Amino acid sequence: EAGRTGGDGPDAWRPPRLSPANAAYVIHTSGSTGTPKGVVTSHRGLANLVAVHIDRYALGTGSRVLQLLSPGFDVSMADIWPVLCAGGRLVLAPPGRLHATGEELVGLMRDRRITRVAMTPTLLAQLPPEDLPDLRTLVLGGEPAPEDVRRRWSAGREMYNEYGVTEATVTSTLYRTPDGPGTPPIGRPVGNTRAYVLDGFLQPVPPGTAGELYLAGAGLARGYLGRARLTAERFVACPFAPGERMYRTG
């Protein structure tokens, strides 16, 4: 091949320089605009997601995670990679079962002895109450979980409210959800992640004051594929960490 001379001259082939900032994958999301945009996620962000989930959800060789979501949806990355990197088992919903009835889904979780599953509170509310002794961890997101759903499903297992955006690699904050009254908060930032509530001048607002949520840290994406202007609008310089960026969640 041209350039692969094997020597040290100017035409010698050299392996490309690799970095944690290199792109790992692209996920398209429409967000609040309704217009699809490709979010370029880095290897650093994906590696941090894996480390956070293995640590927080105690994933290991005995873990069995059910993947219910399409790989085109960013939350699927949190189902796929952490359990595989922990040496556990990823259970794929059989074809045609992604939209299964509540009884079918519960049966699948029981038969495959699922230990962790992530879903919306709306989907969880549709599942019939049944003893699932292997299910140790329930991860909810996308909307607040009603009190009755939390009370019904939290007994004997850990339930988490998870918040994140595609632009910050899926998981930015977590909260261990109790079964009592009230709406669970989004929790505190996960490892290597920072969250700021700022005003229009990028200054922190006092407690109890409305502001805009900004996210920073290892999970920040590279930006939007082929959309430099939009990237510059949403990924801005972080005034609290020179040389770093933060993402405006809106």
Does some domain include residue 17? no
| Residue 165 belongs to domain spanning | 23-248
Q: Does 221 have pLDDT greater than 60? A: yes
First-to-last CA distance in the chain? 50
The 10s digit of each residue's pLDDT in 179-188 is: 777 889 999 9
> What is the number of domains present in the chain?
1
Mean pLDDT is lowest, of 22-36, 77-91, 208-222, for 22-36
Does some domain include residue 15? no
| CATH value at residue 82 | 3.40.50.12780
Does some domain include residue 8? no
Does some domain include residue 9? no
Q: What is the mean pLDDT of the chain?
A: 91
Does some domain include residue 135? yes
**53-57: which pairs have CB atoms within 8 A and are 24 or more residues apart?**
53/78, 53/82, 53/171, 54/82, 54/85, 54/86, 55/191, 56/160, 56/174, 56/190, 57/82, 57/116, 57/137, 57/139, 57/160
Q: Does 95 have pLDDT greater than 80? A: no
